[in-house]
């Protein structure tokens, strides 16, 4: 196989960008099929880009034997059944985060991955592929900050996209599952441990529309990890200045900070507002390169017959933690995780 032939499901906000990456920016991939329940989206992409196959029915796309891989960028509640169906039909699968919106769904996806272990499965935690986060991980592995003991993470969508966030709230799974889940995955990755206990809080401080979904427009959580390390999270929907993603990893001998000012470029503006820098306005802009690199990694894994760094279990773990944080926020209680008991007699 020289090129991986890909079918994509979902051509919305995120799907159209990833379809473009597969079609034009990943040399060893070919976008052969597109699927959305919205017929006009399918027709438009097919006509504009000359894509041979278009479907409004997902299962019909899975019957196409010319395809090698399925990329899933549909709404979060669709992920797990689509993952299972695609793996069982013999395809390699990439799925957007979160893995699922319930633990039962995540376990279904886990079992599908386990019974199709000859297939590549990758979950879209793209921040791990962002050059700055990848560099931070490399510095930690080289020991340059000593032992990492604390991750402090802030992720806030811009106020300018609030209407979309409110529309999306019914299917997002809530702020912890939709947004903090990226930070939870990064904290597990940097601290090399799993969450032992957590407490979360938050509320609707500016946009009460989120309340009907049991969601907040700003939430925070404090977590304790099995290896004794810590993490602090703040996620929100209303940054006035742009898309603010900032991560700090504090070690015993130093600190790494990524993205303190979400600057758009290197230009400093000195004018009657003071001295300032313009900021990026959305995830598409901030993580453009990471989205391409994660899909490139998925395609390379298929061609080189190896497994990616982000596994289905990372998806289950981060979903479990995000769920517990949501419960803690809603019910004002401390959550603790039981360590999984090994089945062996060791
Ligand atoms: N990694 C990230 O940073 C990031 C950023 C944005 C979105 N996402 C994730 O991507 C996913 C999609 O988000 P979005 O903002 O693009 O959503 P969206 O609502 O804009 O688009 C969803 C698309 O899926 C299609 N669709 C819905 N149900 C379908 C079905 N059963 N079969 C086939 N097509 C179906 C819709 O027609 C639409 O084309 C979500 O899971 C979201 O969490 C991840």
Mutate which of 8, 12, 102, 173 for ligand 1? The one with the most ligand atoms within 8 Å of its CB, which is 12
H/E stretch holding 151: strand 148-158
3: number of Cβ within 10 Å: 14
Res 154: pLDDT: 98
**How many angstroms separate the CA atoms of 288 and 130, rounded?**
9
Average pLDDT across the chain, whole number: 95
- Whether residue 230 is found in the same domain as residue 326: yes
- 91 shares its domain with 132: no
- Classify residue 93: in a domain, yes or no: yes
Tell me how far CA of residue 67 lies from CA of 1, 35, 248, in angstroms: 12, 13, 41
183 occurs within a structural domain: yes
CATH number of the domain within which 92 lies: 3.40.50.720
pLDDT at residue 346 above 90? no
pLDDT tens per residue, range 313-336:
999 999 999 999 999 999 999 999
- Mark which of 90, 108, 124 sits at the end of a domain: 124
Statement to judge: residues 254 and 173 lie in one domain: yes
Q: Which domain holds residue 270?
A: 128-290+319-336
Output the residue whose Cα is nearest ligand 1's atom 41.
Answer: 76
Q: How many domains does the chain have?
A: 2
In a domain? residue 343: no
Same domain for 107 and 187? no
Shared domain check, 155 and 252: yes
Out of 70, 98, 124, a domain closes at: 124
284 and 226 within one domain:
yes
pLDDT at 340: 62
Ligand 1 centroid distance, CA of 332 (Å):
31
From the CA of 283, give the closest atom in ligand 1: 3
Please indicate, yes or no, whether residues 324 and 231 belong to a single structural domain of this protein. Answer: yes
- Residue 151 CA to ligand 1 centre (angstroms): 29
pLDDT digits (tens, 9 = 90+) for 23-60: 999 999 999 999 999 999 999 999 999 999 999 999 99
Beta strands 69-72 and 92-96, pairing class: parallel
Nearest CA to ligand 1 atom 19: 12
């Amino acid at each position: 196989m020289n090129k991986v032939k890909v079918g994509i499901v979902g051509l919305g906000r995120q799907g159209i960008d990833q379809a473009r990456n597969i079609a034009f920016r990943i040399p060893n991939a070919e976008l052969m099929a597109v699927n959305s329940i919205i017929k006009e989206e399918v027709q438009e992409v097919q006509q504009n880009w000359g894509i041979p196959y278009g479907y409004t029915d997902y299962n019909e796309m899975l019957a196409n034997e010319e395809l090698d891989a399925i990329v899933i960028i549909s709404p979060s509640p669709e992920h797990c059944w689509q993952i299972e169906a695609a793996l069982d039909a013999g395809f390699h699968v990439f799925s957007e985060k979160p893995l699922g919106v319930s633990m039962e769904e995540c376990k279904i996806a886990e079992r599908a991955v386990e019974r199709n272990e000859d297939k590549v499965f990758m979950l879209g935690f793209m921040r791990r592929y962002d050059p700055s986060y990848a560099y931070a991980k490399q510095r930690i592995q080289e020991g340059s900050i000593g032992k990492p003991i604390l991750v402090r993470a802030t992720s806030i969508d811009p106020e300018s996209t609030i209407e979309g966030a409110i529309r999306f709230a019914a299917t997002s799974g809530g702020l912890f599952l939709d947004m903090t889940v990226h930070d939870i995955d990064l904290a597990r990755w940097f601290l090399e441990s799993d969450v032992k206990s957590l407490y979360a809080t938050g509320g609707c401080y500016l946009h009460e529309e989120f309340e009907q979904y049991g969601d907040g427009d700003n939430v925070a959580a404090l977590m304790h990890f099995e290896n004794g390390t810590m993490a602090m999270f703040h996620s929100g929907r209303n940054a006035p200045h742009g898309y603010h993603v900032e991560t700090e990893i504090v070690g015993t001998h130093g600190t790494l900070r990524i993205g303190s000012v979400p600057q758009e470029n290197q230009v400093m503006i000195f004018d009657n507002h003071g001295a300032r820098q313009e900021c990026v306005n959305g995830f598409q802009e901030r993580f453009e390169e990471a989205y391409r690199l994660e899909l490139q990694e998925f395609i390379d894994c298929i061609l080189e017959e190896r497994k990616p760094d982000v596994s289905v279990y990372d998806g289950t773990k981060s979903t479990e933690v995000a769920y517990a944080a949501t419960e803690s926020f809603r019910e004002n209680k401390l959550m603790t995780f039981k360590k999984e008991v090994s089945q062996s007699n060791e």
